[in-house]
Amino acid sequence: MNLVKYTFLISILLLTAIACSDDEACLSNQHSVQAQLLSAWWDTDVDTTLTEVTVIGLGQEDSVYNNESVSELFLPLNFHTDTTVFVISAKTLKDTLRLVAKRELDFISRECGYIFSFDLDTVIHTKTFIDSVSIIYPKIKYGETTENIQLYIY
């Protein structure tokens, strides 16, 4: 009978472990391009801060940022199209940033369901105060917080 008892006890311990490890928290807002602002005046990468920044998606009424000082930007991508366009204003200056990304539908988990993952292909911009843009990590994936692009600012 000892074997039966041991089997029983091990089973209960395993079941308890399963029950305790099954909860999962679902993350939100996992579809933004993370942009670092760098100074274009230096040979090496030096962080910079833009003041009085307003960022609005093309065709949108609400702003992503409204008259804020920023050293990095989180730019949410559009699920309905491969190209997402933002108008970035700093004081009286304006630039347009066009993000082209391939969308891929992913299923995260039983609890959290679907999400879009993106693969950033191209960034096109005007050159009022943005000197250049480099893509350093093109993947925008659920649960990752890696910087995707660097914006070099005049």
Of 2-10, 65-73, 94-102, 118-126, which segment contacts other proteins by CB under 8 A? 2-10
Strands (E), the chain: 32-39, 50-57, 63-70, 72-76, 83-90, 93-109, 113-125, 130-135, 139-140, 149-153
11: alpha, beta or left, given left = phi > 0 and alpha = psi -120 to 50? alpha
43 binds other proteins, rule: CB under 8 A: no
Asked if 104 contacts 114 with a C-beta cutoff of 8 angstroms, the reply is: no
Asked if 99 contacts 75 with a C-beta cutoff of 8 angstroms, the reply is: yes
| Residues 114, 116: Cα–Cα separation, whole Å | 7
Of 36-44, 106-114, 119-127, 133-141, which segment contacts other proteins by CB under 8 A? 106-114
CB of 82 to other proteins, least distance (A): 13
61 binds other proteins, rule: CB under 8 A: no
Size of the residue set binding other proteins (CB under 8 A): 40
Q: Which is nearer to other proteins, 114 or 143 (CB)?
A: 114
Residues near other proteins (CB under 8 A) are: 1, 3-5, 7-8, 10-12, 14-16, 18-19, 22, 28-29, 31, 57, 60, 62, 64, 76-80, 84, 104-107, 109-116
